[in-house]
Amino acid sequence: MINESMYAWGSEPSAIRQLFAYGLERKKAIGADKVFDFSLGNPNVPTPQVVTDTLKALLERSPETLHGYTPAQGDSATRQAVANEISKRFEVKASPDSVYMTVGAAASISISLAAVSHPGDEIIVNAPYFPEYRVWATQAGCKVVEVATKSDDFSLDTKAIADAITPKTSAIIVNSPNNPVGTVYSKQNLIELARVLEQKQKETGHPIYLISDEPYREIVYTETVPYVPSIYARTLVCYSYSKSLSLPGERIGYVYVSDEMDKEEHDKVFLAVCGAGRALGYVCAPALFQKAIAECVNVPSGVAAYAKNRKLLTEGLSALGYEYIEPKGAFYLWVKALEDDAKAFSEKAKQFELLIVPSDSFGVKGWVRISYCVSPETIVNSMPAFEALMKAYR
Ligand code: PLP
């Protein structure tokens, strides 16, 4: 007998993937330049030249050592390089024994959830949220508890989070810079969250872990992203190089268990991360890319290209009368749908060859997400279609 949950997840791809697949078909039918695909978060900025050069140099090394297994938690030089970079950038003491290399942030989050929860526990997510959280938390046997972010600025609603915490709450996932809204939570907002979590832990007698999902950490326009482990000790940072170095298909990232945690607890959490990696089959992340990361750990991201796209898109849509949230980070624009039903609005947009994701996929109603990690030409050329879409509602 097949597993019905797996069947359901396999047979119903996410709304984002469905839209992307529709776009591929449509491009074949009418030509790629006529379809404005804003569905996926697949970076259009090429990986930096230094990453390509590093890979070429690595390929000259002896294949036996290059492609062999690394330890399950990752190559020691890579873990050291990642820890050094965290220490230098955030002025903390990060140990390589706190770093577990993974196949991207997806694996980092699945591992972290499995490491700090038990079946029947509750995981808090802040809506709107990355849809796959639901799949990963459910797979860990947990119940997802959605808490809406504040309606005016989409910041964390710490009062609502406090109300949602129960003795079964084992973790909260926080994603900043945020997909889909582009919010960067302020230090003050995170300090308030930390206070709530600390207070609730005292009341319930159970630890609550903060899973900090940070694949967009480097992609910010107006401010820096506060370093979460310095604000809340029980943090597991889930990072990947998918967006920062434009390597989404190579599947490389890490879990970092904060060294700010009590030492004894930290060592247990880290071993639980190793155990979860083992149980889920996420051992020995791709060896070639681990070695490349060891050398490229401080390579800057291509933020300038996204900043240019952000300007083109926001200025264009603003002139047409669209309402949106000014993104502070990541590469998504959160736009108010022109009718209450965001799914119907997204369907209507398809008539103008605009592929935009309805907010229902992210746990809220009435908005759409426009992914602007596309070529600037796609944005410029899409403006007549956005204009026609607006006219269809006037
Ligand atoms: N978390 C968020 C918020 C994301 O947007 C994504 C990918 O788009 C992921 C996690 C997964 O990242 P990765 O491709 O590194 O697994």
Query: Which atom of ligand 1 is nearest to 130's Cα?
Result: 3
Architecture of the domain whose range is 4-48+301-393: Alpha-Beta Complex (3.90)
CA–CA gap between residue 13 and residue 319 (Å, rounded): 35
Q: Is the peptide bond before 207 cis (omega within 30 degrees of 0)?
A: no
Instruction: State the greatest distance between any 2 C-alpha atoms of the chain, in Å, as a whole number.
Output: 65
pLDDT at 17: 87
**Which stretch of DSSP H or E encloses residue 158?**
helix 158-164
Q: Is 41 in the pocket of ligand 1 (CB under 6 A)?
A: yes
Spacing, Cα 329 to ligand 1 middle (Å): 14
Q: What burial class does residue 255 get, using C-beta atoms within 10 Å of its C-beta: 0-12 exposed, 13-18 middle, 19+ buried?
A: buried
Architecture of the domain whose range is 64-296: 3-Layer(aba) Sandwich (3.40)
Q: Is 214 in the pocket of ligand 1 (CB under 6 A)?
A: no
- On whether the CB atoms of residues 369 and 332 are closer than 8 A, the answer is yes
In this chain, the answer to whether the domains covering 4-48+301-393 and 64-296 adopt an identical fold is no
Both tokens of 282, joined, read 């996420």
pLDDT at 394: 85
Q: Running along the chain, 394 residues long, what does each successive block of 10 average in pLDDT?
A: 94 87 95 95 95 97 92 98 97 97 98 98 98 96 98 97 98 98 98 98 96 97 93 98 97 98 98 98 98 97 96 98 97 98 97 97 96 97 98 94
pLDDT at 223: 80
Q: Hey, which of 14, 110, 213, 306 would you mutate to test ligand 1's pocket, going by the most ligand atoms within 8 Å of its Cβ?
A: 213
Pairing of strands 99-102, 253-257: antiparallel
Spacing, Cα 133 to ligand 1 middle (Å): 10
Query: Which atom of ligand 1 is nearest to 107's Cα?
Result: 16
pLDDT at 315: 98
Query: Which atom of ligand 1 is nearest to 248's Cα?
Result: 14
**Which stretch of DSSP H or E encloses residue 99?**
strand 99-102
Domain ranges within the chain, ordered by starting residue: 4-48+301-393, 64-296
Question: Residue 60: left if φ>0, alpha if ψ -120 to 50, beta else—which one?
Answer: alpha
Q: Which distant-in-sequence residues (6+ apart) come within 8 Å of 137 by Cβ?
A: 113, 117, 123, 125, 143, 144
Q: Hey, which of 179, 183, 246 would you mutate to test ligand 1's pocket, going by the most ligand atoms within 8 Å of its Cβ?
A: 179
Q: Give me the half-sphere count of Cα atoms (radius 13 Å) on the Cβ side of residue 157.
A: 19
Query: Which atom of ligand 1 is nearest to 108's Cα?
Result: 16
Of 79, 115, 44, the C-alpha closest to 280 is: 115
C-alpha radius of gyration, the chain, whole number: 21
CA–CA gap between residue 174 and residue 209 (Å, rounded): 11
Q: Is 194 in the pocket of ligand 1 (CB under 6 A)?
A: no
Q: How many CB atoms lie within 10 A of CB 115?
A: 27
pLDDT at 292: 98
pLDDT at 357: 96
Q: Is 177 in the pocket of ligand 1 (CB under 6 A)?
A: no
Spacing, Cα 105 to ligand 1 middle (Å): 5
Spacing, Cα 265 to ligand 1 middle (Å): 27
- On whether the CB atoms of residues 339 and 347 are closer than 8 A, the answer is no
Q: What burial class does residue 69 get, using C-beta atoms within 10 Å of its C-beta: 0-12 exposed, 13-18 middle, 19+ buried?
A: exposed
pTM: 0.97
- On whether the CB atoms of residues 140 and 122 are closer than 8 A, the answer is no
Query: Which atom of ligand 1 is nearest to 109's Cα?
Result: 10
Q: Hey, which of 39, 217, 242, 245 would you mutate to test ligand 1's pocket, going by the most ligand atoms within 8 Å of its Cβ?
A: 242
Q: What is the DSSP string of 279-316?
A: HHT--S--HHHHHHHHHHTTPPP-HHHHHHHHHHHHHH
Both tokens of 297, joined, read 């750990």
